Amino acid sequence: MAAPTVLEIALPTPLRRRFDYLPPEGVDTTLLKPGQRVRVPFGNQRLIGLILRVKSESSLPLQNLRPAEALLDTKPLLPDDLWRLCLWAADYYQHPIGDALHTALPVLLRQGEPDREKGEPYWQLTTEGKGLPEGALKRAPRQAELLAALQQRGALNRADLAALGIARSHVKTLEDKGLVFSREQVLTPSPEPNILRDTPLTLSDEQAAALAQIPEDGFHISLLDGTTGSGKTEIYLQAIARTLSQGRQALVLVPEIGLTPQTLARFQRRFAQPVVALHSGMNDRERLDAWLQARDGRARIVIGTRSAIFTPMADLGILIVDEEHDSSFKQQDGFRYSARDLAALRAHRLNIPLILGSATPSLESLHNARTGRYHYLRLTHRAGNARAPELLTQDIRRQPLDEGFSRDTLERIRTTLDAGNQVLVFLNRRGYAPTLECPDCGWLAECRHCDTRLTLHQTPRHLHCHHCDHQRAVPRACPSCKSTRLQPLGQGTERSEEALQRHFPDTRVLRVDRDSTRQKNAFRDLVEEVHRGDPCILVGTQMLAKGHHFADVTLVVILDSDAGLFSTDFRGPERMGQLLLQVAGRAGRADKPGQVIIQTHHAEHPLVRTLLERGYHAFAELILSERRLTGLPPFRHMALIRAESKRPENAVAFLKQVRALAEQRHPPGHELGYLGPLPAMLEKRGDRFRYQLQVNAANRGALQKLLSQLAPEMEQHALAKRNRWSIDVDPQDMG
């Protein structure tokens, strides 16, 4: 008797297990391959899973295995390199394989949709329809007309039907009678012979030297470190052109906020070849179609946000990650992968170049460049004659402030507007004020579900928790002492907008934050208005800091630069420096020199001084030397094991047990160190108490080995059920 065939299947469940099934009945078992989808019974539901292995035995008795119901694919869904990348990532990030694979697939494929593009429907006659004698449908003249047209032309599509004035209901009637059937056809445009639509810009010497160092093929990672406006994008475009002319494809990853219609338009203007985008604004069908076009090679350039790293490409020849320092490349929940780090692995396995670009590279990447793992390419000149903006700190410790603005700042805003230029005011807090305060008894509006204060919003007026979304009415009187003198405490964007409008009543003040841009196209409309160039003041959050170029802004005011300096997250200062320079980069981009005013309470802080006086690289060096001393990434590797529960003691007890298990496996020392359980930065959120255990390691191998042993033990642990828990490898956010 032949050996039995057993399918090992990854199912989208939170369990780390793989599931064994028998093949679907009647399916030729030689057709079964890893990477194909199957529909299987699971409890009393039906799930779509992926075949991980086709094997000849199971650890369970064969009679206990259920057969899969159907095989959905004739071929594996993903090309082999991507399939293996997904398996590796699930393993490395300690995420259940079924859920990881599902995260990597477009929604419609997870739901069992065929991996085919939705084509244009067309209609033909069945054999019966063809054999119908003339005049058979005399009593239904429209149906007869349709029949005649089909007999004459063979097939009709939607446009043909519309031209003939035949309603779909008539088609449907003939379909029901079995005389007509429909098919779908994907219209494939013939390949475009030209690579370029538009002539490339002439490169500066510095740009040309950088491009020359990026090889056309072979594994190679370049860190392209270039100040804002130094022309990194032009280097991407010309490197992509070389790749396309070899007949290969390009994949470009951009931060969530960076995939603007402007970005896409720039690529489409340059290239005659098909460019597709993958982003959250697309519906499921559009996403799947773009994904399929990339897989079958018709899309030549794919631009997408984080999850686009899992796009299958027929023949990928170059990978680019723009703004590589951006934290949106790391997924913060579920499958916590880093698209940037996976890009490096994908490039390595495909033996192709990767370009990581940024004006403020992450410390990890700078470290990799210093140690020679990445090739370091630097662009220091701004394109054209544009000069770098002048950075000025303003010590606001002893200055009277008017709604957060110093007198000098207001003066400079006035001068800028009078000269016909635009002003950008940056404040990373939306709402009217960070909270509401009672001056009589000191009461503060706090969220009853989180360890945090409620933000006061004015339009419409309410209190809002930005962590759990809890909202409530603004009380008329202090809940604690009944005083009616409640007042806003601190500054948010709404309040700054109001203050600026009061100071400059004849100037347009435009607020840009998540609240003001909620409506479709609102952000685009705001950006268009600014681009018209009339004097105006833009006030907003980090939505203003990224991607958009405002050529007429000559003054940038940073109202609160201090928050990151004293953050308990070790990445706080790095993030602060990056954000500050990204915002500063908005000023003076064209031929107009810009000025940046940084209002700070800590003008003497060594990090602030280093950043402003000696620049980002000296600042990065300073932080790196501190990280080396304190044993933090990139000098040591880290994983966070998080647990949260409605009762804090559950989370603490669970993590203590996890630490004990870990120490049994690997005693603390230089190779592996443990810290915690400690409360998270926001200890209570949405009524859950949050704790974390930090594991740090001298090398990735030791960390991986420990985590792979711990994860299944944690899953089985009795206390696990009382917690929500997760493992975050290479965490970007320590909260």
- Binding-site residue positions: 438, 441, 447, 450, 465, 468, 478, 481
Give CA–CA dist 285/132, Å, rounded: 38
CA distances from 717 to 551, 710, 721 (A): 58, 10, 8
Tally of residues, the chain: 735
Please say which residue, 174 or 438, places its beta carbon nearer to Zn ion: 438
User: Closest separation between CB of residue 540 and Zn ion, Å?
Assistant: 14
Question: C-beta of 490: minimal distance to Zn ion in Å?
Answer: 14
State the DSSP code for 286: H
Amino acid type, 61: P
Q: How far is 387 from 640, CA to CA, in rounded Å?
A: 43
Task: State whether residue 624 is helix, strand or coil.
Answer: helix
Considering only residues 301 to 330 of the shown chain, the ones binding Zn ion according to CB under 5 A are none
d(CA 24, CA 56): 15
3-state secondary structure of 328: helix
Helix axes 232-245, 261-270, angle to 10 degrees: 50
- Residue 348 to residue 219: CA distance in whole angstroms: 5
- In the bound state with Zn ion, the residue whose beta carbon lies nearer, of 69 and 451, is 451
Q: Of 102, 464, 666, 690, which one interacts with Zn ion (CB under 5 A)? A: 464
Complex with Zn ion: residue 260 or 458, whichever CB lies closer: 458
Cβ nearer to Zn ion, comparing 343 with 450: 450
**Residue of 467, 495, 546, 589 that binds Zn ion (CB under 5 A):** 467
Q: Does 537 bind Zn ion (CB under 5 A)?
A: no
> In 402-455, where does DSSP find H-type helix?
407-418
Which of the ranges 53-61, 153-161, 472-480, 658-666 carries the binding residues for Zn ion, by CB under 5 A?
472-480
Report in angstroms how near the CB of residue 453 gets to Zn ion at its nearest.
9
For residues 217 and 440, which CB has a smaller minimum distance to Zn ion in the complex?
A: 440
Kindly state the smallest distance separating residue 690's Cβ from Zn ion, in Å: 13
The two structure tokens encoding residue 387:
């000069």
Residue with smaller CB distance to Zn ion, 395 or 440: 440
CB of 494 to Zn ion, least distance (A): 10
In whole angstroms, the minimum distance from the beta carbon of 126 to Zn ion comes to 60
For 174, the token pair is: 């003939």
Applying CB under 5 A, what is the total number of residues that bind Zn ion? 16
User: Closest approach of Cβ 332 to Zn ion, in Å?
Assistant: 18
* Comparison of 341 and 437: residue with beta carbon closer to Zn ion: 437
Of the pair 386, 438, the CB lying nearest Zn ion is at 438
Largest interatomic CA distance in the chain: 98
- Cβ contacts of residue 533 below 8 Å, gap of 6+? 422, 551, 552
The dihedral sign for the CA sequence 511, 512, 517, 522: positive
Cβ closest to Zn ion, residue 396 vs residue 447: 447
Binding-site residues for Zn(2+), in ranges, read 438, 441, 447, 450, 465, 468, 478, 481
Q: What is the DSSP letter of 473?
A: P
For residue 480, the minimal CB distance to Zn ion (Å) is: 5
Q: State which residue, 280 or 484, has the beta carbon closest to Zn ion.
A: 484
- Residue 600 CA to residue 663 CA, distance in Å, equals 44
What is the Cα–Cα distance from 659 to 663, expressed in whole angstroms? 6
**Residue whose tokens read 């539901």:** 45
> Hey, what amino acid is at 645?
S
Q: How far is the CB of 441 from Zn ion (least distance, A)?
A: 3
Closest-CA residue to 634 (of 624, 642, 643, 644): 624
Q: Which among 156-164, 458-466, 547-555, 725-733 is the span making contact with Zn ion, rule CB under 5 A?
A: 458-466
d(Cα 347, Cα 339) in Å, to the nearest integer? 12
Rounded Cα–Cα distance for residues 257 and 437 (Å): 34
What residues contact residue 167 under an 8 Å CB cut-off, 6+ apart?
142
Name which position in 97, 240, 468, 553 contacts Zn ion (CB under 5 A).
Answer: 468
| Interface stretch with Zn ion, choices 23-31, 140-148, 375-383, 470-478 (CB under 5 A) | 470-478
Q: Is the dihedral of CA 390, 391, 394, 395 positive or negative?
A: negative
**Structure tokens of 243?**
């790749």
Tell the smallest beta-carbon distance from residue 461 to Zn ion (Å): 12
- Cβ proximity to Zn ion, 463 vs 706, nearer residue: 463
Report, in Å, the least distance between residue 691 CB and Zn ion. Answer: 18
Considering only 33, 118, 470, 605, the residue that binds Zn ion (CB under 5 A) is 470
The nearer residue to Zn ion, 413 or 478, going by C-beta atoms, is 478
In the complex with Zn ion, the residue whose CB is nearer, 438 or 559, is 438
- In 10 A of CB 664, how many CB atoms? 9
Backbone angles phi, psi at 543, to 5 degrees: -60, -25
Nearer to Zn ion by C-beta: 483 or 625? Answer: 483
Provide, rounded to whole angstroms, the least separation between the CB of residue 546 and Zn ion: 21
Among 149, 465, 556, 558, binds Zn ion (CB under 5 A): 465
Site for Zn ion in 475-494 (CB under 5 A): 478, 480-481, 483
Instruction: Give the DSSP letter string of 342-360.
Output: HHHHHHHHHT-EEEEEESS
Cβ(312)–Cβ(294) below 8 Å: yes
CB of 331 to Zn ion, least distance (A): 23
DSSP codes, 692-733: EEEEEESSHHHHHHHHHHHHHHHHH-GGGGGSEEEEEES-S-
Site stretch for Zn ion (CB under 5 A), options 266-274, 342-350, 474-482, 548-556? 474-482
Contacts with Zn ion in 391-450 (CB under 5 A)? 438, 440-441, 443, 447, 449-450
423 vs 426: CA distance, rounded Å: 10
The CA distance from 459 to 457, in Å, is: 6
Q: Which of residues 64-103 bind Zn ion (CB under 5 A)?
A: none
What tokens does 59 get?
Answer: 């650890």
**To the nearest whole angstrom, how small is the minimum distance from the Cβ of residue 474 to Zn ion?**
13
Burial of residue 309 (CB within 10 Å: 0-12, 13-18, 19+) is: buried
49's torsion region: left (phi>0), alpha (psi -120 to 50) or beta?
beta
In the block, tokens 């410790």 appear at 397
Q: Residues in the site for Zn ion, rule: CB under 5 A?
A: 438, 440-441, 443, 447, 449-450, 464-465, 467-468, 470, 478, 480-481, 483
